[in-house]
Chain A
Amino acid sequence: MTDPSMLSPEDLDRLEDALDDPRRAAELPPALRALHDRYVHIEAQARQAIEATEVPPDLEARILGAVRRELERVPVPPEGPRPETTTPADNEVTRRRPRWWMPLLAVAGAAVIVLVWTKTTPEADPARAIESRTVHEAEFEAEPLPAAAPDDAPATTREHTKARPPVAESQGAAGGRKGERVDHDESYGGLPLPQEAATVEEPAAGGGSRAAPAKRKKRRARRSAPGGGLAPDTLDDVPGAPAAAGVKRPAAKGASSRAPGTESQQGRGAAAPEQAADGSQEDELALSWKTLARADRDRRRGRCDRAEPVYAKLTRAGDRRLAARAHAGLGLCAEARGGDGASSFARARALDSQIDAFIDAERN
């Protein structure tokens, strides 16, 4: 008989294929065919020998009994891997292998922990921001008024102003109608801001304020527009503001297209903050009002966590009205969280007796 060790790999492949598919045996050459037939014969004899293995006659009954006992037991979690993975490796090693979802579960759990941790940090928690407000105040006590921020440029301010929604035309002198959202950055309860109430000095004559008088006249003229006069929201409204002080700004974009409400700021701006002693103080004050306006926007958007630190700073402002607005803002934030803003409002009234109109309008 052919020695298999002498067969080529191709012959061996053909022989093996014929073992799998008997129909291929007819294609084998005689030498391979003889070997194939011998293999088939041995396989048949082995099958016969194994099938002749005597199986205990009661084995089937015992197996069924074990199955019934298993069915009667309290349901237990199924054992073993899934069928598609059971067949290859259903053994102890496979069962102890970590499941594929364990790493994903670990990553998800870590992500949840990080999210919870970040949300519970004081910076992210408005409530804690309120609690730490006194700390902030102490920290800011010795700090100067906020310096100009890069985005406090007048041009940016103007663009911000233009982007704001138009103020309600019906802003009247009474501080805005109830039920109407009155943007009190343009309209301080509809009441014109008394110039004498402002503590910011008019810009001193000089280069820094050359353009101020003319511009103030313009602003006063526009003050008659609805909305009255409220604390300025833009530097344009602030005497001694960088614009008035001669600080160069990019060309105003569509300044004439400002909404009426914004125009009224300019008139108010002349009244709200009085001129600073010098250009730098005017700049700082203008920036402070702008900062206050930003804080008010944050507060209205529900971001008291961002507004309160700013308010806290501005309560130390030299401008009484500015400080009063800041205190009012703190009180409004406190009320927004269900707290009591009475103490803040009291401080605000002490600085500005007319602050109640603003507070009432904001509450509505």
Chain B
Amino acid sequence: MTAFADDGDEAAFAELVRRYHRPVFAFLLRFVGNRARTEELTQEVFVRLLRMKGRYRATGRFRTLVFSVARNLAIDESRRAKFRRHLSLDAPGRGRDGDPGRSLGERIAGDDVPVDDAALAPTLRTRILEAVDELPDAQREVFLMRVAGGMSFVEIAETLEISDNTVKSRMRYALEKLRVALADLDPREDGKETG
């Protein structure tokens, strides 16, 4: 990234695209809920990063910048989406079509079902993604920056302009909610827990 910022090296930027486009897409998808729109926004993230080239200072936290841009686009999109009210493939059905808790994409033979046996079972993956989508926005963005972006709590705090402790708290709350939502799938959850 330093090479790109200093010299405008296109190859360097291409490497950045290669490294970050997947996590950015995954991050945005959990907010936007629409694959086509997520693809557009993913492109927009890198176009905006390109425009910021002259202002980027190599502080070693390009990942922070990437997800900051992605987050802002997600926020803007969610505000616009409030006026759209259309079904997305990935949005949980929430009881529509007589199948609560499953997205339309899940009911259709989706192409994002993992093939690898070592991967999560579709049911588990679906449940996890549903649980993540049900998180409050503040917890979800922390959680996704952590798991999708691989960011440390310090980096998340810097991106969101909140304290480290707040980041840790939100992460803990998010994990607790997921734990409760997935309790029936975990044999360690012996039903004795009261959370």
Contact = CB atoms under 8 A, between A and B. Distances in A.
Nearest to B164: A20
Interface string B168-190: 11011001101100100010111
B161 interface: yes
Nearest to B185: A45
Interface in A16-62: 16-17, 19-20, 38-39, 41-43, 45-56, 59-60, 62
A83 to B, nearest CB: 5
B71 to A, nearest CB: 8
A294 to B, nearest CB: 61
A67 B47 contact: yes
B194 A39 contact: no
Nearest to A37: B188
A52 B68 contact: no
Chain A interface bracket (under 10, 10 to 19, 20 to 34, 35 or more): 35 or more
A79 B47 CA distance: 10
- Report which residue of B68, B72, B192 has the largest number of chain A beta carbons within 10 angstroms of its beta carbon: B72
A80 interface: yes
A53 B26 contact: yes
B104 interface: no
Given A50-B148, A52-B119, A67-B46, A42 B175 contact: yes
A80 B45 CA distance: 12
B90 to A, nearest CB: 9
14 contacts: A1-B190, A17-B168, A46-B143, A50-B26, A56-B35, A59-B43, A66-B43, A78-B55, A79-B52, A83-B65, A87-B158, A87-B159, A87-B161, A89-B72
A-B pairs with lowest CB-CB distance, top 6: A88-B161, A16-B168, A87-B68, A54-B112, A1-B193, A47-B147
Given A16-B168, A45-B120, A53-B112, 14 more contacts: A3-B193, A3-B195, A4-B195, A20-B152, A20-B168, A38-B188, A43-B175, A53-B22, A76-B51, A79-B52, A83-B65, A86-B65, A86-B68, A88-B158
Interface of B: 10, 13-14, 17-18, 21-23, 25-26, 29-30, 35, 39, 42-43, 46-48, 50-57, 59, 61, 64-65, 68-69, 72, 75-76, 111-112, 114, 119-120, 124-125, 128-129, 132, 143-144, 146-148, 152-153, 158-161, 164-165, 168-169, 171-172, 175-176, 178-179, 182, 186, 188-190, 192-195
